Amino acid sequence: MQIPAISATQSNNQNFQGKVNIVNDLSYLPCKYVRTAYDSISKMVEDKPFDIFIKQNHKEKSLSFIAKRPEHVGLKNKPIVEYSIANASEMDNQEKTTDLYISVAKQSIEDYNKKFPPKTIGERIADSLDNFRKKFVKLFQDSDEI
């Protein structure tokens, strides 16, 4: 079996592949509606640098849509946008509920993009150079004190 070579342009091209993740188990009705809305939600998030996590809180009978980077899962003080739908396990109209799930997912994606816009390559380079400058200045200030 041969492995195709990866060119330099392919390896430097950063493609985002956001996914829809279902956390734990969902009840029957929310699972049914998430299944019908899944394709629409996954198309909305497929080119984003973050994922949508769908989580049901059984005690409060709510369903949460969480926009978060996959590497930040389980960490505190990281960028997150969360919207909840109350009485998610009691909704019975499939069309309205599916549309509601899609609109809540869309709103969480839009708010995540507004609150935490992705940095351009120029901004990332400027931040790296600024950090390097700070470390360089600190190093020479420390050596002058000796």
| In contact, 101 and 33? CB cutoff 8 Å | yes
pTM (global) more than 0.75 = no
For residue 55, what are the contacts with CB-CB under 8 A and spacing of at least 6?
Answer: 22, 23, 24, 63, 64, 66
The per-residue pLDDT string of the chain (146 residues; one tens digit each, 9 = 90 and over) reads 444 444 444 444 455 677 888 888 888 888 888 888 888 988 988 888 888 999 988 888 888 998 888 777 777 778 888 888 887 666 777 788 888 989 999 999 899 888 888 778 888 898 889 998 998 888 877 655 55
Q: Give the model's pLDDT for residue 1.
A: 41
- According to DSSP, the β-strands at 62-68 and 80-86 are antiparallel
- If residue 54 lies in a helix (H) or strand (E), which one and from where to where? strand 51-57
